[in-house]
Amino acid sequence: MKLLEYEGKEIFERYGIPMTARRGVLKLGDSLERLKLDGPGPWVVKAQVLAGGRGKAGGVKLARTPAEARELTGAMLGMKIVTHQTQGKALIVEEVLVEDACAIAREIYISVVLDRKEACPAIIASAEGGMSIEELALSNPEKIIKVQVDPEAGLLDYQARQLAFDLKIPQKNFCEFTLFARQLVKVFLETDASLVEVNPLIISEDGRLLAIDSKIVTDDNALFRHKDQAAKPDHEASEIEKEAKAIGINYIGLDGDIGCMVNGAGLAMATLDTVKMAGGDAANFLDVGGGANVDQITRAFQIILKDPKVKAVLVNIFGGIMKCDNIAAGVVEASKKVHIRVPLIVRLEGTNVKEGREILARSGIKIEQAGSLWEAAQKAVAAAR
């Protein structure tokens, strides 16, 4: 799950990571009067969307007066934002964070990632942080520092000190930094994150070390260990994805027009690849699970057909634990309950496949059967056209 900046900062706060004071998070529809700002300012107004690069796309603005902060917040809420990380798509700004701004002397990049090759967490850092870290990684890869971390011990003191030297942290902030780095690793380990990023970590003109931005991605497979996190909305999920999750179906929306219903995640991935090879694009990933019964198949059809882009549905089921005749009966039963408004292509394989195909053929329902996955994919692509 990807967390918004302010959600990440709420976690940082529990770990004593130094930040400027957050003054409020406003949601679309909130009264701007809710934003209570006193003190001298300035403040920074930040669009809370799941993408970096907001700074360059108008999603980070500086306000000198409370009135200006309200005005900028009002203008930002509901705004569409396209950054270099949104793949050309516009995100709608539904929440805005307002916090104290500071004058920045230096911007540093630091993150903790999962080093899959070495099977351990690793710190990635650079003395030259800020908005162009991707470019730096390409043009000057030697300026990127990497420190592998023992997940049992966390970041060791000497490693934190070495990192502080390498990043040329001022002496005044040295101890603060080593503590910060160790806490950042702790956040990574204890939230079961796959990424914890601070870009930029800054030294302010008045000499403070501060985390100005936060990006945390947690591992969904560990959500059961984090009840508080699991209870929070998944900002990345579409309405259909949320509905599917609630009824226990693994569904991920995609950009194409061929709805796919498959049993097993591996077979579902293979189906997406095969559709692509046949010249089409899948509208979704959907794994109905191993014990797909009539109810589950009915729900899966309902979920797939909620996507208006769907022009054909490809059912690809391998009868292993479930036998093909039972699955076929399930598909027939389900398609009586759900109005399937598009061509339906079914490929069955496995135990009792002959009986299964007969049930489909005799059902009187308009089903195009395919003997192989390749044939099914080609038929689905043709039907969607």
Residues labelled as active-site residues: 109, 197
Q: What is the DSSP letter of 4?
A: P
- Residue 114 binds which entry of ligand GDP, Mn ion, none, CB below 5-8 Å type-dependent: none
* Least distance to Mn ion, CB of residue 209, Å: 16
What residues from 131 to 170 belong to the interface with ligand GDP (CB under 6 A)?
131
* Least distance to ligand GDP, CB of residue 101, Å: 3
Write each residue from 184 to 223 as x if it is in contact with Mn ion (CB under 5 A), else as -, in one continuous string. ---------------x-------------x----------
Which residues on neighbouring strands pair with residue 201, listed in sequence order?
108, 211
Using the contact rule CB under 6 A, the part of the chain among 100-108, 159-167, 184-192, 240-248 near ligand GDP is 100-108
Rounded to whole angstroms, how far apart are CA atoms 56 and 131? 8
Rounded to whole angstroms, how far apart are CA atoms 120 and 272? 31
Residue keyed to tokens 């097993």: 264
For ligand GDP, the closer CB: 13 or 150: 13
Residue 200 phi/psi, 5-degree rounding, is -100, 155
Write each residue from 40 to 59 as x if it is in contact with ligand GDP (CB under 6 A), else as -, in one continuous string. ----x-x-----xxxx----
- For 289, the 3-state DSSP assignment is coil
> Strand pairing of 250-253 and 284-287?
antiparallel
> Strand pairing of 312-319 and 344-350?
parallel
Rounded to whole angstroms, how far apart are CA atoms 37 and 99? 9
Q: Which of 7, 197, 213, 368 binds ligand GDP (CB under 6 A)?
A: 213
For ligand GDP, the closer CB: 199 or 316: 199
Write each residue from 230 to 269 as x if it is in contact with ligand GDP (CB under 6 A), else as -, in one continuous string. ----------------------------------------
Tell me if 199 contacts ligand GDP by CB under 6 A.
yes
What residues from 102 to 131 belong to the interface with ligand GDP (CB under 6 A)?
102-104, 107, 130-131
For ligand GDP, the closer CB: 9 or 299: 9
- Residue 138 binds which entry of ligand GDP, Mn ion, none, CB below 5-8 Å type-dependent: none
Kindly calculate the radius of gyration of the chain based on its CA atoms and give it in whole angstroms: 26
Tell me if 212 contacts ligand GDP by CB under 6 A.
yes
3-state class percentages of the chain: helix first, strand second, coil last, to nearest 5: 40, 25, 35
- Residue 60 binds which entry of ligand GDP, Mn ion, none, CB below 5-8 Å type-dependent: ligand GDP
Tell me if 343 contacts ligand GDP by CB under 6 A.
no
Rounded to whole angstroms, how far apart are CA atoms 38 and 140? 43
Tell me if 35 contacts ligand GDP by CB under 6 A.
no
Residue facing ligand GDP at closest CB distance: 55
Rounded to whole angstroms, how far apart are CA atoms 275 and 363? 26
* Least distance to Mn ion, CB of residue 90, Å: 19
User: Is 156 within 8 Å of 178 (Cβ atoms)?
Assistant: no
User: Is 380 within 8 Å of 351 (Cβ atoms)?
Assistant: no
Q: Which of 219, 243, 215 is nearest to 230 (CA)?
A: 219
Q: Which of 248, 283, 285 is nearest to 270 (CA)?
A: 285
User: Is 315 within 8 Å of 335 (Cβ atoms)?
Assistant: no
Tell me if 5 contacts Mn ion by CB under 5 A.
no
Residue facing Mn ion at closest CB distance: 213
In what helix (H) or strand (E) does residue 264 lie, and over which residues does it extend? none
Per CB under 5 A, residues contacting Mn ion are 199, 213
Per CB under 6 A, residues contacting ligand GDP are 44, 46, 52-55, 60, 101-104, 107, 130-131, 199-200, 212-213
